Amino acid sequence: MGALTDDPAFQATTFVVIDFETTTPSGYPAQPIEVAALALRYEKGMWRETGRSTSLIRPPAFAPVTPADTAQTGLTPEQLRHAPTPADVLGALDRRFVAGNQYLLVAQHAATEANVIHHQREHCPALAHVDFLDTIPLAKHLVPGLANYKLDTLLARFSIQQPADRHRAYADVDVTAQVFTRLITAADGSPQLSDLAALVKIAGRTAKCNQPVQSGLFDL
């Protein structure tokens, strides 16, 4: 297509679009109740899906599904009562990341997903060390002037049909992936986005596990 997608580093990267649905208990970080991930590689001029995963997750007792959560996602406490634990779900997802392969996570407003993963890092140590691309700063760079950069706004901008189950992780991952690939098509025509490093400079977010830890002033 263009300079970006011709970059060997870009072609060597598996882009994993990820989305969580969560509860937000008072006094605790957001707790996952559903996760979906969709792995994409750019090969021979086209995108290829290389893996997909989705699962409900049983929240801990301190983070029950509320009526507001159900109104947002459609998920009910009954649906999650016998779902697997975060350790089981995120552990299984973590094992799909192969040591030595190059990955980037892709998310709409990546800070949300980054925080969930960081708080669950004991269950997914490999996943917790994968950096992100955030579709919001990328869209701001490539499609300036929108009223906002919410997912629904980007779907409308790119004429992507709203999924029937909007705010379910598996549906949001699919449309986020469509937004991402449309943005990459636009990026291929941008002189400022000539390779993966330039893409990361504009839209990258370092995983919290990869950020340097500042030692105390008086550590001995």
pLDDT tens column, 54-106: 999 999 999 999 999 999 999 999 999 999 999 999 999 999 999 999 999 99
The pLDDT tens digits for 24-60 are 999 999 999 999 999 999 999 999 999 999 999 999 9
Residue-averaged pLDDT of the chain: 95
d(CA 10, CA 7): 5
What's at 78, amino acid-wise? E
**Domains of the chain, earliest start first:** 3-210 (3.30.420.10)
Nearest to 135 by CA among 115, 159, 101, 112: 112
- Measured CA to CA in angstroms, residue 184 lies from 8, 88, 126, 175, 192 at distances of 15, 33, 26, 14, 13
Asked whether residue 217 carries a pLDDT value surpassing 70, the answer given is no
Q: How many DSSP H helices and E strands does the chain contain? A: 10, 6
Quick one: pLDDT at residue 1? 55
d(CA 181, CA 185): 6
Band (216; pLDDT cuts 50, 70, 90): low
Residue 183 and residue 142 in contact, taking contact as beta carbons nearer than 8 Å: yes
Quick one: pLDDT at residue 199? 98
Asked whether residue 196 carries a pLDDT value surpassing 70, the answer given is yes
Nearest to 52 by CA among 28, 36, 72: 36
The pLDDT tens digits for 131-187 are 999 999 999 999 999 999 999 999 999 999 999 999 999 999 999 999 999 999 999
Quick one: pLDDT at residue 189? 86
Token representation of residue 174: 């699919």
Band (129; pLDDT cuts 50, 70, 90): very high
Asked whether residue 215 carries a pLDDT value surpassing 70, the answer given is no
Quick one: pLDDT at residue 214? 64
Quick one: pLDDT at residue 56? 98
Quick one: pLDDT at residue 31? 98
- Collect contacts of 142-148 with beta carbons under 8 A, ≥24 apart: 142/183, 142/186, 142/187, 142/190, 143/183, 143/186
